Amino acid sequence: MSKSKISNKTNRPTCFIVSSPSGAGKTTVVMRALARLPYVAKTISHTTRTPRPGEKDGVDYFFVNKETFERGIVNHEFAEYALVYDQLYGTSKKTVQSILDQGKDAILVIENQGAKEVVKAFDPVVLILIVPPSMEVLAKRLANRPNASTDDVQDRLSKAEREIKDMQWYDHTIINDNIDTAVDALVDLITTYQRGKV
């Protein structure tokens, strides 16, 4: 982990933002960490994409059509939203606030552009970047995904390089070389902030 300074200690619940390029493992790391963090809840995002096998509405995402999503944008219902691979993703302000109102910390697994908006909408916010140990390792992970094409892998690799550069402003970086070590790092980081609130 780098950039390990601990700041923004407060008695108020915190928004933890976790981002990574596609294939770096942020979702797996976060879900395993949450099992060890009883006072943290993950926000559920809205999306216009169709559910993948095994995904459930209201559990993995709120799956909505484009018209419903765009109506939410017009009504300023989202803390952040972004267009990712031709699909809209967003986190509603109500979803975040409902977690904070319970006295819990909220964790948002979102993209860099969305993080910039959440920082404006909530305080305090802690930004955590999860990265692969190398671009070569990321390429192998992406190539092993079901139905991955060469063009798709190259596109995601190029995007990943840009995203990592764009997210150098994040507070902390976790290298996901080993899943267990990465989970431990995320749990330790969040609990360090929580201890700072006592």
Are the CB atoms for 160 and 118 separated by under 8 Å?
no
Question: Given this model, what pLDDT does residue 162 score?
Answer: 84
Question: Given this model, what pLDDT does residue 197 score?
Answer: 56
> Mean pLDDT over residues 48-62, rounded?
95
Is 50 exceeded by the pLDDT of residue 9?
Answer: no
What structural domains and CATH numbers belong to the chain? 15-195 (3.40.50.300)
Residue 54's region, left for phi above 0, alpha for psi from -120 to 50, else beta, is: left
Higher pLDDT, 105 or 25: 105
Q: Label residue 182 by pLDDT band (50, 70, 90).
A: very high
Of 46-55, 75-84, 106-115, 154-163, the poorest mean pLDDT is in: 154-163
Question: Given this model, what pLDDT does residue 80 score?
Answer: 95
Is 130 strand, coil or helix? strand
Are the CB atoms for 172 and 1 separated by under 8 Å?
yes
Is 50 exceeded by the pLDDT of residue 154?
Answer: yes
Is 80 exceeded by the pLDDT of residue 10?
Answer: no
Determine the Cα angle at 34 with ends 32 and 40, to 5°.
170
Hey, which residues does 196 pair with through a beta bridge?
A: none
- Residue ranges of E strands in the chain: 15-19, 40-42, 46-47, 62-63, 78-84, 87-92, 105-109, 125-131, 172-175
Average pLDDT of the chain is 89
> Mean pLDDT over residues 173-179, rounded?
94
Question: Given this model, what pLDDT does residue 3 score?
Answer: 45
pLDDT in tens, 58-115: 999 999 999 999 999 999 999 999 888 799 999 999 999 999 999 999 999 998 888 9
The pairing of strands 105-109 and 78-84 is unpaired
Higher pLDDT, 56 or 139: 56
